Copies of this chain bind each other. A is one copy, B any other.
Amino acid sequence: MNKLSKIGVLTSGGDAPGMNAAVRAVVRKCVYENIKVTGIIKGYQGLVNGDFLPLNAGSVSGILKDGGTMLKSARCPEFRTPEGRATAYENFKKQKLDGLVVIGGDGTFTGANIFGREYNIPIIGVPGTIDNDLFGTDLTIGYDTALNTVVDAVDKIRDTATAHSRLFFIEVMGRDAGFIALNAGVASGAEVVLLPEKKTSYDDLKRFLEKQYSYSKDSSIVLVAEGKKMGNTFEIAQRVNEEHPEYDARVTILGHLQRGGSPTVADRVLASELGVAAVEALIDDQKSIMVGMVDGEIVHVPFNQALKNKKGINERLFNLINVLSGGKK
C-alpha cells in the first residue's frame, strides 16, 4: 500500500461518452480516500503547457450525464518528443503529483507507456474510446453509447428506406475495427455488414443483395465500417447503382455525431467502475497498466500487452447477420 498524496487525471484522444463519468469517479474516489486530485486540461498538451485545474467533489457534480469531456482533449505532437516529455515531467513535479490516470485509447496509452517508464511515474490507463478496439477489456467506455446512437440513426433511415423501397449504405466509425458496424448491424437488422476484419468482395456483396431482392425484400441496409480510406462507401454504392438502378442505392455517412451524447447506463456504470479501479490501482502501487473489465471482473493489463494484441470480432455475431436477414440457408 502506497500513500498517495496527490494525483492528476486527463482525457486524451477522440472524446467518448462516459469520459466525464470516469473523471467524476476518479475525483470522487480520491475525495473518499483523502487524496488530492488535479485535472490536466487538453490531455498531454496540458501537462506540457502546465494547464491544471484543481478538482474537488463539487467540481464534478452534474457531469455524469454529459457527453464530451470537461477536461478537454487534444493531439499533442510535442509529447512525442523527449523535450516535450521533459517539460511535462517538470510540470508533473511542480504540481507534486504522485501518479496519473489517463483516459483514452491506444494513442493515449502509447504516450503513457513511454512517459511512465522514462521517468518512473505510476500511470494507470482507463479505456475510453467509442471504437472498442482495445485488447484486455470486453468493452471500452463510450462504445455502448455510440452503438445506440448509430442504431437510432439507422432506425430513422430505415423508415425512409422502407417508405421509398431503397437500398442504403450507411458508413459508421471504425478505422481498423468493425465492432460498431457488426453490433449495430445485428441490432438494426442490417442485411449486410462490411468490416475491415472480413474482406467481402464486391461480387459477394452483389450476389448477396441479388439473393435478398429475389425474395420479397424491396429495401435493405448495408452497414459499412469506414476503414482506412474515406469515400469508399460512395464508390461501392455507385457501382451497385450502375448495375442495379432499381435498388435506388443511397449513401449516408454518420460522421461525428457518433462521438457525442449523454452516455448510456452501461457506459456510465463501466466508467464509474474503472475510474474507481484506476485510483485503487495507484493506491496498490501499480504502474503502466490499463484497468479493464473482463467477464464482469476488473482486470489489470500491462500497457505493452494491451497495445501489442488485437481484439478479434465475434464470429458468432457475424454469422448471425446472414441467418437473421430472412433467407434460407
Q: Are B265 and A164 in contact (CB under 8 A)?
A: no
Q: Are A165 and B72 in contact (CB under 8 A)?
A: yes
User: A327 vs B61: C-alpha distance in the bound complex, in angstroms?
Assistant: 12
Q: How many copies of the shown chain assemble into the complex?
A: 4
A133 proximal to B (CB < 8 A): no
Q: Which residues of B contact A73 (CB under 8 A)?
A: 163-164
Q: Which residues of B contact A32 (CB under 8 A)?
A: 323, 327-329
Q: Which residues of B contact A295 (CB under 8 A)?
A: 295-296
Q: Are A269 and B183 in contact (CB under 8 A)?
A: yes
Q: Which residues of B contact A255 (CB under 8 A)?
A: 251-253
Q: Are B151 and A268 in contact (CB under 8 A)?
A: yes
CB distance from A63 to the nearest CB of B (A): 9
Q: Which residue of B lies closest to A25 (CB)?
A: B324
Partner of A320, one of B159, B165, B168, B272: B272
Q: How many chain A residues touch the partner (CB < 8 A)?
A: 86
* Known A64-B189, A160-B15; contact A260-B155, beta-carbon cutoff 8 A: yes
Q: Which residue of B lies closest to A267 (CB)?
A: B187
Q: Are A256 and B168 in contact (CB under 8 A)?
A: yes
Q: Are A324 and B260 in contact (CB under 8 A)?
A: no
Q: Which residues of B contact A316 (CB under 8 A)?
A: 273, 298
Q: Which residue of B lies closest to A154 (CB)?
A: B257
Q: Which residue of B lies closest to A254 (CB)?
A: B257
Q: Which residues of B contact A67 (CB under 8 A)?
A: 156, 159
Q: Are A34 and B329 in contact (CB under 8 A)?
A: yes
A148 proximal to B (CB < 8 A): yes
A264 proximal to B (CB < 8 A): yes
Q: Which residues of B contact A62 (CB under 8 A)?
A: 162
Q: Are A165 and B74 in contact (CB under 8 A)?
A: yes
- Identify 17 new A-B residue pairs, CB closer than 8 A, beyond the known A11-B163, A15-B163, A66-B159: A17-B159, A28-B325, A42-B165, A57-B216, A61-B326, A68-B160, A69-B163, A72-B163, A148-B265, A159-B260, A160-B259, A186-B268, A188-B268, A252-B256, A264-B264, A266-B266, A269-B317
